[in-house]
Each structure stands twice: as structure tokens, then as C-alpha cells.
Amino acid sequence: MLVPLTLVAITVLILIDSWPALTTFGLSYFTTTEWDPVKLVFGAAAYVYGTLVTTVIAVLLATPVAVGAAIYLTEFAPRPVRAPVAYTIELLAYIPSIVYGLWAIFVMVPVMRSVVEPGLQGTLGQLPVIGKLFSGTPIGLDLLSGGVVLAIMILPILMAVSREVLLAVPPTQREAMIGLGATRWEAVSRAVLPYARPGIIGGAVLGVARAFGETMAVTMVVGNSSRDITGSLFVPGYTMASAIANQFVEADSELYFSAIVEIALVLLFVAVLVNAVARALIRRSIADRPAGAVV
Amino acid sequence: MKKPLIASILAFATLLAACGGSPPAATGTPGTTASAASADPCGVPVKGKCPTEAQNVTGAGATFPGPLYTKWIDQYNQLTGVQINYQAVGSGGGIKSFTDKTVDFGASDVPLTDAQFDAIAGGLYMVPMALGSVVPTYNVPNVTATIKFSPEALAGIYLEQIKKWNDPKITAENPGVTLPDLAITTVHRSDGSGTTGVFTDYLSKISPEWKTKVGSATSVNWPGGVGGSGNAGVAGAVKNQPGTIGYVELIYAIQNKLGYGVVKNAAGKYVDASLDSTTKAADAFVSPDFGNLKGQQAKLSITNSANADAWPISTFTFLLLPKDFSDKAKGLAILRFAWYGTHEGQSFAKDLGYAPLPSAVQKAAEDVLKTITSGGAKLLKVNS
């Protein structure tokens, strides 16, 4: 009883505090990028954009790695290594995000700037259309770096969920496929993975939720600049959570403060929505299927 | 201004945490001497314990003077046994907590806005406590000489109009220095900060375009560049990335051995940034009517000082005190502490990287402290 009440209380508080911004800016809050604490004009489009872009990069990079690791650990790895390796990957989830941030700023950013980003510019950057993503001077503190840090941070939860879902696939699924003469890989790709797909998607959605709210590590590498949206990944960006963390303390006028609380409102709304979707997908995968069903 | 609910709750929570976690007051070392016997023990200069002052006082505000205030608090505690909690939450946070009355005193590096003055019931005084300054730091490969910046060049760089290090506006001021054909990336503070307040206040004074396009505040809408969190974030970005320019507090640059550039001051001279040239910036300070600061905030700003030996990007850091304390005992403790800080405390300033107040400003601070009342009666008694 207490928990839902807390959620309601938080929502009400945030609504009250964000009311001045909600009524002053209305929809333009989501469609404009001008965020000017001096002139008191606030549009959060650049923050929303930065959050979406870093999250998409993170999920695109982390999902194949996480699912691959989960498949290896449940289907192919020698039994004695399965638990220790899985445990080690899950351990990544317990590293404080500030530590990821420090590592990123001292180790990852220099590599991104001097190796990865020039490399991308020299290859994919030469292609039409896609090339636009990689235009500009590589500075390492940009949307791409933010996305890569997030990818590393959501990897453990994605891997853990995928592994649980794969373990929950009834052995009869594999046995039936192998009994039909399939190789192990065919059994995995044709019987196990389709069965587990909703759960894996659920894990990815949970990763999205984590990426949305992640603050410290991203703030340290994303560049924190809400310039116009250019379409390139090599420009400094800003995420919603970073904007709150950076500006909350010094928000010295009512409207400014309220505009920042409105970011929190959007984040809360998205987090609840994403979690609900993820839960529904995972439940469908694990519980609702009768044992032994063949897809 | 309506009290933001979340802010109040958070401030209250941190207050509780701070109170709960504070170390017990140091006992012993009574500073009282026989010679002070005839003087009022609660008067100033502070010589020892005062039976009628509060034993626990809380303040919050600017991070920049944090180390200095901590030193004063420790010294004052040894003298009087009074425990002062100062939370370095940032200038904006200090103003907010002071307005919400969740702390007994506030602190800020930047003057309050008109709206902020209006929000404070009963009015307040801003008392200058020490001085600090901001310096440009940069990373230009293969340049060992100190780069000189004219005000126009600095504003042009941060307006993203000067895009290369070998732009004529920069090279003209640096004869004999070969500057590379390298793109400039500007770095600014991403968190709201008094440092940004001072820097943008300076740019607003020397560039009309900056004033209309961007303006000055603890957070502004930067024309471009990269944001780093804290002095460390800015310095880190500059250190790692060739072609960058950023701004940090002078003490941060000195303590971390960062190279920094020089900026031409209002008299047209290039003066090295130092504690002395920072104090010089306050020499031209004309004391405003401290009892009626609203609308006179510009007078509290000492950027672009007219003094020929001044570092142009300098600032006061202020304590925020109510004009009339509702709690007499707390008021007395705070005023005695502020007196201690602006007098004996100034001797610690240089060692900690702060510029001490010039004597004229110290006198102005004295006058303000003597004016403050509780229930209409003046609080501070000066022992001769």
C-alpha cells in the first residue's frame, strides 16, 4: 500500500512544482531547443533528443553482445565456467556509476577521440546519408561516447535477463529440434531464440529504462551542451537526467526550477511506461507458455 | 516566490543529515585572557566564549569559499566552542535555502536578482568576505608562451565567432608567438556555478553582443562548446583535448599547476592573475548602500575593474545575513563569526588561495555587521 502511495505522492509533487513551466511553455517545451536561464525561455527538445540518441546507441551496441553472451553461457559454454562467468558479468551492475564515469573520461574518451571516431569518419563517414552521423571534429565528449558508456552499463542487466529467459526455455524445445536432426546452433536459432524472444525484448526494454535514467557517467562524457540538433553523433549533447543533475542546485528562479522539474516529470512518465512494457513482455515469455510448447 | 516543495524537503533532509552527522564540538582551548575581563565577552573582536550566543548554527551556499569558511569555522570553534555547519551546496542553493529559512545564513558568489531580493521576507545584507578570480586555461600544442587575450578576443571565442587559434584577433595580441591553424573548442561549466556567474558578468561588461545574446547568470545558454562538471570537469576536458579553452577558478589553476592565459584589463594592461592583482580589483570598489541593494547589484560586481594593476575577472564572495535575526542567540553567533572572518580570518586567506579584502572593503563589512539587529535592537558590541 505504501509503495503505490509513494509513487502517487512523488507524481503529485512533481506536477505541482512543474506546473508553472507546463502552463507557460506548453507544447513548445518539447519542440524547441532554446534553454536560456537568463531570458527564462525553456525548450527541452535537445535534452529529449540526447536521451533518445544515447539510449538507442546503447541498446543497439549492448543487445547483440548481451544476447550472444547469454546464448553462449546457457547453450555452449562448458558447465564449470557458466556460473562464474555469468556472475562476473552481473557484477558489472554493482559498479557505482561514478566509477564508470571516471573510467570513461580517462580511458575511453581519449580512445574514442583519437582512434574510434577518426576511424568511423574515415570509413562509414564516407558513405552518403549515414556519413552525416559522423561529421564534425571528433572531441570524444559527445553523444556517441555517452551511448557507449551506457551500453557498457546496461550490458549486465540485459545479459542477466536474457540468460534467465533462455534458462526458462523448456529442454523439450531443444530436444525436439535435435531429434529432428538439427545441429545445436540450428536448435538455438530456430527453437530456443524464438521462444525466448519476448523475454529478451523485455530485457532490452529494462535496459532502455536504465539508460534513460542513468545520470552520472553519461554527464561526465556526453559534453553537456544543448546546441541545436545537428544529426551528428560527434557533437556534444545533453540528456534529460544530466540536465537535472547539472542545473537543479542552481536553478534560482521559479520558472527555471519548474522547467527542470518538468524534465523529471517526463523521465518519470517514460520510466513507468517502459517498465510496464518490459514486465508484460517478460511475463509472457516465462509464465504464459505451457511447458513443451513448440513455436 | 512560491516555495518549491521538493527543494524544501530536500533541504530539510540534508539539514537533518548534516546535523546528525556533525562531529561533537571541540572542547578546551578557551581563548579568554585576563586582559579581556573588563570587556563584554560577547563583543568583538572575538576573544572567547560568549554565554548568550547559540552553540549550533547552520549555513549553506557557495562552494568556492568552502575551504576558507571551514578553516574559519574550525578556528572560531576553538575560540568559542560554537559549532557551525556550513554546507557548500552552490550559490543558487545557498540563496534558495536562505530564502526558505532552512538555514541560519547563506553564502553566494553572485549578487541576488531583483526577484530573489523580493522573495526574502525582512530583507538581507550581502557582506563581502573574501575575493576570488577566474582565469582562462587552454590547451594549444607546441605553444609555451603565455597567450594574451584581449577582451574582444575572449568574447569572440566564447561567441563562437573566432574559430581558429591563428585568428588575427588573437595573434595581434601575441607578437612572436606562432599560433597553430587549429580549431578552437570552448569549454564551460555544465553545472550552475558562481564561477560561470563571474565569467559571464565580465563578458557582459566588455561585449555588448554577449550581453544581449547570452547575458550573465550562474547558468547561461552557451553559444556552443562542451560542458564540464565543476572546475575539475572543465580542466579535464581542456587537458585532454588539443585546441580547447576553458575557465577555472584561480586557486584551482594554481593548486593543479594548470597554465593560464592573461587578459587585458580595463586600463589596457596585461596583468598576471594573482591574489594581489585580485585584491587590487576591489580597490576601485565604491560601497553601495548595503541596506538597499536591490537594483544596485551591479555595484557589487568588481569585474573589469578600473584599477590599472587589477585582474579583470575577479569577484567578491558574500555571506547572506538577514537584516533582523528572529533568533537573537543565533544572530549573535553568526555576526561574531562574520566579524572574526573579515578580521582575524583574513590572515588565512592567502594560504588557502583566496585574496584578502582591502581595508576599505573590510571597513564596509564592519559597518554592515554593526547595523544588523534582532527584534530591532543592535546585536554586535565592539570592544575597544
The model's confidence at residue B269, banded by pLDDT at 50, 70 and 90, is very high
pLDDT score of B48: 87
Q: How far is B33 from chain A (nearest CA, A)?
A: 44
pLDDT score of B200: 95
pLDDT tens for each residue of B158-171: 999 999 999 999 99
Mutation to test the B interface, candidates A224, A242, A265, most B Cβ within 10 Å: A224
pLDDT score of B5: 52
Residue B114 burial (CB < 10 Å; 0-12/13-18/19+)?
Answer: exposed
Q: Do B90 and A137 touch (CB under 8 A)?
A: no
CB of A235 within 8 Å of a chain B CB? The answer is no
pLDDT tens for each residue of A217-260: 998 899 888 777 888 899 899 999 999 998 887 787 889 999 99
Q: Do B2 and A254 touch (CB under 8 A)?
A: yes
Sign of torsion over alpha carbons B304, B309, B313, B316: negative
Q: Do A247 and B217 touch (CB under 8 A)?
A: no
Which helix (H) or strand (E) element contains residue A225?
none
> Which amino acid would we find at residue A207?
G
Q: Do A225 and B90 touch (CB under 8 A)?
A: no
Q: Does residue A69 register a pLDDT over 70?
A: yes
pLDDT score of B157: 96
Cell of B33: 585572557
Cβ under 8 Å to A: B residues 174-213: 183, 185, 190-193
Q: Does residue A205 register a pLDDT over 90?
A: no
The average pLDDT across B249-259 equals: 86
pLDDT score of A287: 63
Backbone angles phi, psi at B84, to 5 degrees: -115, 125
Q: Is B330 helix (H, G, I), strand (E, B) or coil?
A: helix
CB atoms within 10 A of CB A276: 12
Q: Do B241 and A14 touch (CB under 8 A)?
A: no
pLDDT tens for each residue of A130-165: 888 888 888 888 999 999 999 999 999 899 999 999
Cα torsion for A102, A104, A106, A110, to the nearest 10°? -160
Span between the terminal Cα atoms of chain A, in Å: 39
- For A223-293, strand residue ranges (E) read none
Q: Do A250 and B216 touch (CB under 8 A)?
A: no
Mutation to test the A interface, candidates B8, B120, B226, most A Cβ within 10 Å: B226
The model's confidence at residue B9, banded by pLDDT at 50, 70 and 90, is low
Q: Does residue B18 register a pLDDT over 80?
A: no
The model's confidence at residue B6, banded by pLDDT at 50, 70 and 90, is low
Cell of B132: 576570488
Query: Could you tell me which residue, B202 or A209, shows the higher pLDDT?
Result: B202
pLDDT tens for each residue of B284-322: 788 888 888 888 888 889 999 989 999 999 999 999 999
Beta-ladder partners of B44 = B382
Report how far Cα A43 is from the mean position of its chain's Cα atoms. 23
Place of cell 556555478: B193
Provide, as residue numbers in chain A, all residues whose Cβ is less than 8 Å from the Cβ of B91.
250
Give the ipTM.
0.81
Provide, as residue numbers in chain A, all residues whose Cβ is less than 8 Å from the Cβ of B90.
249-250
Provide, as residue numbers in chain A, all residues whose Cβ is less than 8 Å from the Cβ of B186.
none
Q: Does residue A1 register a pLDDT over 90?
A: no
pLDDT score of B257: 84
pLDDT score of B362: 93
pLDDT more than 70, % of chain B = 90
- For chain B, strand residue ranges (E) read 56-61, 83-88, 105-108, 124-138, 148-149, 185-189, 226-228, 244-249, 262-263, 314-322, 373-374, 377-378
Mean per-residue pLDDT over chain B, rounded = 87
CB of A228 within 8 Å of a chain B CB? The answer is no
pLDDT tens for each residue of B317-361: 999 999 999 999 999 999 999 999 999 999 999 988 899 999 999
